[in-house]
Amino acid sequence: MTAAQATKAKTRSLVPVLRKFSLRSRVALLVMAAVGLTVALVSIISFFTIRTQITSNLDNNLFSQARFLASTNLGSPSSPLNTSGMDSGSATVALNIAGLQGALVGADGSLYLPVTVTNPHTGAQLTAVAPYAQSDTHVAAGTTPASARTVLENGVAYRVVTIPVRGTDTALVLATSMANTEWILHLLGLVFFLVGLGGILVAGAAGLAVAKTALRPVQRLTVATEYIAQTGDLRRIEVTGTDELARLTTSFNTMLEALARSQDHQRRLVADAGHELRTPLTSMRTNLDLLAQAMAQAEQEPDRPRLSATDRSELMTDVRAQMEELSLLISDLVELSRDEHPTHAIEHLDFAEVVDRAIERVQRRAPDLRYDLTLEPWYLDGDPAALERAVTNLLDNAAKWSPAGGTVTVRLAGGALEVADQGPGIDEADLGHVFERFYRSPEARTMPGSGLGLAIVRQVAENHGGRVAAARAPGADGKPGGALLGVWLPGSPQPPTQPSQRAQQ
């Protein structure tokens, strides 16, 4: 397994563990990890940068001191470094006072070391011998220009530099203890470690605060969702801010409003349907009760029938008509309960052909009317069955209100279908309600119908991206005419060169 594959496998193994935490905990951990790693990385880089800079400064100082000493008599093999006497002791004391140790290394491997002297006041032995190595002979021979290294001797770290002594075959080795430098570096490392640890803790606290603040709208949405699930109360949620979570809350409120409208429509549909169903059911029950009583009396007193054959025939005819009205009402209710955009049976069609087919159907039901037709092509994507149902409802409404021998005017131009009759027309107060479910004007309550036909027209039009309108048709001599109902659907007067993508689906 490669390193990349191993890393990917570890990442996959962490995913199930992270999923056990809440979203707030994951956000806090993410912030803590990001800030903590950043602080740790900055601390590490800073530590190594400072250590490199300190070491470089130490080397520069040592090289400067070595070059100075090499230019004095200490850089000569005959210097007090390798002779006895007062000068030799003075050289050792001087090196110790400067915190330095020295040695002269010859190209042939010969060594010239400071002598060890005794402090006359304390009796302590003083020495200033620098750590040296075989590699220093290369500097003395001139094969290596200079060298710098760190040497560990007797548990103490020394920084050692070696430079050639000009005019001789020797090299001056100069060393200084790194105890103070190591102490400073250890102190810096501890400080950076504490800073990194503090940064991680601060990042964790900041991550929790950020997660709590950022996810507060999500928490409100969660509480609101649970409240709606328990109570069904579709109340709005307060929107604060303009960020993405505020937009999410706004979208959630929009969804709640749509659900509230849907619930209100359903309640009104059920209430209106119950009201409309009650009348034919009550009438049917009354007629059936009369028939049952008449049949029972006929069995008991066959010579004295309560209802004549004509009355029974009329009752049966009335029951049959009420059953047909009830069937039509149920069919309309099923159509309205869908309340959905067309998603199947969509094809590219000419709306004029749909209108023409609907007119043929209505003519068979109302042959005593004339139809004045003006149909222009109008192409659109839609459900042909639903569109034909809507146009048929418009024409049936016009046929219902037109007098015998009257004319129904049908115009289709620019996607706008207008159907005008020669009936009494629509009152101004009723124009805005004719397409509502179960709405029936006082004049229409004595006419057959459920009050759902025009509501179906509006639903089909809106599901196809269109709209409906109602007005008074112009009459003769400037007088208002009958009703004028219209439907507009989006489309084009020209057929497409290719089948639409929607139709292909």
* 3-class SS string, 113-138: CCCCEECCCCCCEECCECCCCCCHHH
Highest mean pLDDT of the ranges 296-305, 447-456, 490-499: 490-499
- Alpha carbons 183 and 157: distance in angstroms, whole number: 11
DSSP collapsed to 3 states, 483-500: EEEEEECCCECCCCCCCC
Name the band, by pLDDT with cuts 50, 70 and 90, for residue 292: confident
- Given a cut of 80, whether residue 493 has pLDDT beyond it is yes
Least confident of 31-35, 379-383, 396-400: 31-35
CATH 3.30.565.10 intervals, the chain: 345-504
Name the band, by pLDDT with cuts 50, 70 and 90, for residue 1: low
Q: What is the mean pLDDT of residues 4-26?
A: 61
- Given a cut of 50, whether residue 31 has pLDDT beyond it is yes
Q: Does domain 244-336 have CATH number 2.60.40.1180?
A: no
Condensed to tens digits (0 to 9), the pLDDT of residues 119-149 reads 666 666 567 777 888 888 888 888 889 989 8
Residue 463, C-beta contacts closer than 8 angstroms, at least 6 positions apart: 340, 341, 342, 386
Query: What is the predicted pLDDT for the residue at 5?
Result: 57
- Alpha carbons 185 and 50: distance in angstroms, whole number: 8
Burial of 110 (C-beta count, 10 Å sphere; 0-12/13-18/19+):
middle
pLDDT > 90 in the chain, percent? 11
Taking the model in full, what pTM does it have? 0.45
Condensed to tens digits (0 to 9), the pLDDT of residues 149-190 reads 888 888 888 899 998 988 788 888 888 888 888 888 889 888
- Alpha carbons 66 and 70: distance in angstroms, whole number: 6
Q: What is the mean pLDDT of residues 414-440?
A: 83
Highest mean pLDDT of the ranges 52-56, 215-219, 225-229, 278-282: 52-56
Q: Which CATH architecture has domain 48-184?
A: 2-Layer Sandwich (3.30)
- Given a cut of 90, whether residue 490 has pLDDT beyond it is yes
SS3 content of the chain, % helix, strand, coil (to 5): 55, 15, 25
Instruction: Name the CA radius of gyration of the chain, rounded.
Output: 52
Interior angle at CA 391, CA 385 and CA 394, nearest 5: 145
480-488 and 467-474 as β-strands: parallel, antiparallel, unpaired? Answer: antiparallel
DSSP collapsed to 3 states, 388-446: HHHHHHHHHHHHHHCCCCCEEEEEEECCEEEEECCCCCCCHHHCCCCCCCCCCCCCHHH
Condensed to tens digits (0 to 9), the pLDDT of residues 230-254 reads 887 777 777 777 777 778 888 888 8
CATH 1.10.287.130 intervals, the chain: 244-336
- Given a cut of 60, whether residue 46 has pLDDT beyond it is yes
CATH 3.30.450 intervals, the chain: 48-184
Query: What is the predicted pLDDT for the residue at 354?
Result: 93
Q: Does domain 345-504 have CATH number 3.30.565.10?
A: yes
- Given a cut of 70, whether residue 18 has pLDDT beyond it is no
